[in-house]
Structure 1
Amino acid sequence: MNGKSAFEMLGCVVVLLGAILSAECFAKNDLHERLAHGRQLKIFLPKTSERLEFIPAGQSVASDVYWEKGQHRPKRGSVFTTGSDRRWTLDKVTYADEGTYIQKDFWQKEVSSVKVAVTPRHVFTKCVAGEDLSVSLEGIELSDATLRFSGENINITLVRDGAPVGLDHLDYHDRVRPQHTRIDIREVNTTDVGHYTLLDRRDRVVSIVRMELTDHHDSSGGNPLLALLLLMGIPAGICCCCRKKIFKKKATYTSTTLQTTPVGQYSPAGGPAGPPPSYQPGPGEPTVSPPPPLP
């Protein structure tokens, strides 16, 4: 191989590597996510990603840069790195997080995009009479929360802009307790059965909680330790039953063997099992006759 052929081969290799790198850098991966309000959003950040931009729903221009490579802390969300896996996460999405998340490389070329849509969250819960019902705020601020209740014969607003307004109703006087991350309805009863609709400041439905009453809670369903003990008890019970059956069969076999041994036969243990044999005289010994019977 002459110098010219080697140079041409090297040029081909360089062109091929350049094409591979270009395909990797400029390949786009478009994803779509539908998350219930308050759920966690995760976006994978490949090695080629240098920044993460956000375009709100209904807009076409990025409004903010949430993350850039080399930042000590992202402007929004968190970044977790495990080995070669790197992810950007947002703990609880709201309607304000609807839009497109675009990743760009070192040359500001788009690497991938994720379009996120947020939907209302539906919750079904059962309470025992006298317990408290908690309605989670699902990531919105308490000052932005409005809670409405719809029952069999009632349709009222319990909380508006984070403050109780159901005090005019005697059934809810001093029972509606707004908290930092939830709204509590204390000591529920039959009149509290129905739907609780949580809305944000723009009257968008955040969640709908349907509550029913029950006599008692299923303790085994929510106790993993009890479930584990029950699971461990199943094989132990089976072994115990099998062991009892084995010993019972063994005892029956031993008793039957002892009862079926014939009486009077020679015992293999080394002694007669019945009466001794009659005496037989040897050679030259007088024969002894048995005594005559008594009159």
Structure 2
Amino acid sequence: MMWSVVILLAAAFSVESYTVHDHERLAHGRQLKIFLSKNAEKLEFTPADDPSKTFLYWEKGRLRMSKGRVSGTGSDRRWYIDKVTYEDQGTYIQRDFWNKEISTFKVAVTPRHNYVKCVAGESLYISLEGIDLADASLSFSGEAANVTLVRDGARMSQDLVDYWDRVQTHSMNIEIRNVNFSDQGHYILRNRRDRVVSVTRMDLTDHHEYTGGNPLMALLLLLGIPAGICCCCRKKIFKKKANTAATLQTLPSTGPVGPSPPYSGPGQPGAVRLHLSFLSVCLHISDSTS
């Protein structure tokens, strides 16, 4: 019995000391998500560019973090970086209360590839994919030209006749206004270290193709359904009215032909005959419409 307990304890310690190794390749600007173990007390990061350094990104009980954010509680805790950059390449290590390594997660970042179709006259937007504008450089390569439009956040297009006042820089993207056939090609975004962040290919199209899930198409469909229903109901109403008119024309005359009888009061026999005749016609019309 004693040996069984020892074997079980040894197995438990061996499982607890097992380190989970995992890795992931993410396109630049994508979200990084790491599930935190329920036994994790801290998350450390060792950058791939400088393995000699280690940064503490998260520690249990601390409200402020040097990088990233945490959501969830208990065994459903997750640590996020909304947009990864090359600086986020490296190894993420989770440690328990005794500073023992629980898991390692290696992240590699690759350039992001985009394909965009624009209608002539529209604006093309190149996302900065998580880098600062001051670190961004954008070049264009196409049949018409091979030029640098932005360097370290500053516009170089003002020196280019074809791009003068058409390139605008924003905090989240770079805009090329009023695109035309000469703007078709590849737009390459680089960071300050001259690493390729993204490659965007732009082609012109006559019109945008809207899918079934497009909100505009859904709105048009929603507006078209009541219109169709009203149209059908209108046809049925007109048909019933036409049948009713035809029925009234074919009804036999029950009274003498001649001038209308003089008005009679409610208690007089003429008024009773008039009410009964009107009631009969109404009942006949109701039967014909139903």
Q: Deviations over 1:228-251 (max 9, x none)?
A: 9879x9xxx9xxxxxxxxxxxxxx
Q: Return the alpha-carbon distance in structure 2 between the equivalents of residues 226 and 32 of structure 1.
A: 41
* Largest Rg, 1 or 2: 1
Q: Please show how residues 202-241 of structure 1 align to structure 2 within 5 Å.
A: 202-220=193-211, 223-224=214-215, 226=217
| Residues 38, 74 of structure 2: 8 Å contact kept | no
Identity percentage of aligned residues: 61
Deviation at 1:83, TM superposition (A): 5.6
Structure 1 pair 62–17 and aligned structure 2 pair: CA distance change class (3 A): farther
> Using the alignment, how far apart are the partners of 2:152 and 2:73 within structure 1?
41
Secondary structure of 2:13's aligned partner: helix
Q: 1:64 maps to which residue? A: 55
* Contact 2:140/2:187 (<8 A) preserved: yes
Distance apart, 1:74 and its partner CA: 2.0
Partner-residue secondary structure (3-state), 2:72? strand
Match of 1:19 among 7, 10, 13: 10
SS in 1 for 2:16: helix
Counterpart mapping for 1:102-121 below 5 A: 102-121=93-112
Q: Which amino acid aligns with 2:62?
A: Q
Provide the C-alpha distance between the structure 1 equivalents of 2:187 and 2:112, rounded to a whole number of angstroms: 12
Alignment of 1:95 with 2:83, yes or no, is no
Shift of 1:153: 3.0
Gaps of 5+ in 1: 1-7, 238-295
139, 144, 164: which is aligned to 1:148? 139
Q: Secondary structure at the match of 1:112?
A: strand
In 1, Cα distance between the equivalents of 2:72 and 2:57? Answer: 17
Aligned partner of 2:164 among 170, 173, 182: 173
8 Å CA contact retained: 2:190, 2:197? yes
Give unmatched runs, 5+ long, in structure 2. Answer: 229-290
TM-score scaled to structure 2, two decimals? Answer: 0.72
CA RMSD of the aligned region, Å? 2.4
Alpha-carbon displacement from aligned partner over 1:72-131 (angstroms, at most 9, x marks no partner): 132210011156311111100000000000111111111100110000000000000000
- In 1: Cα distance, 2:161 partner to 2:170 partner: 21
Alignment partners' CA distance in 2, 1:172 and 1:152: 15
**Conservation of the 8 A alpha-carbon contact between 2:36 and 2:78:** yes
Q: Are 1:50 and 2:41 counterparts? A: yes
Is 2:152 aligned against 1:161? yes
2:121·2:179 contact (CA, 8 Å) conserved in 1? yes
Letter in 2 for 1:159: V
Structure 1 partner of 2:72: 81
Q: Counterparts of 1:21 and 1:71 in 2: how far apart (Å)?
A: 30
In 2, Cα distance between equivalents of 1:93 and 1:148: 22
8 Å contact kept, 2:68–2:81:
yes
- Separation of aligned partners in 1, 2:212 and 2:199: 24
SS at match of 1:220: coil
TM-score by length of structure 1 reads: 0.71
- Structure-2 separation of matches of 1:108 and 1:129: 59
- Number of paired residues? 225
Equivalent-residue separation in structure 1 for 2:213 and 2:134 (angstroms): 33
Q: What's 2:113 paired with?
A: 122
Trace 1:251-290 onto structure 2 (pairs within 5 A): none
Residue of structure 1 in register with 2:184 after alignment: 193
1:171-210 deviation line (CA, Å, top 9, x unaligned): 1110100000100001101111110000000100000000
Higher helix share: 2
Match of residue 135 from structure 1: 126
Q: Which amino acid aligns with 1:93?
A: V
Query: SS of the residue aligned with 1:201?
Result: coil
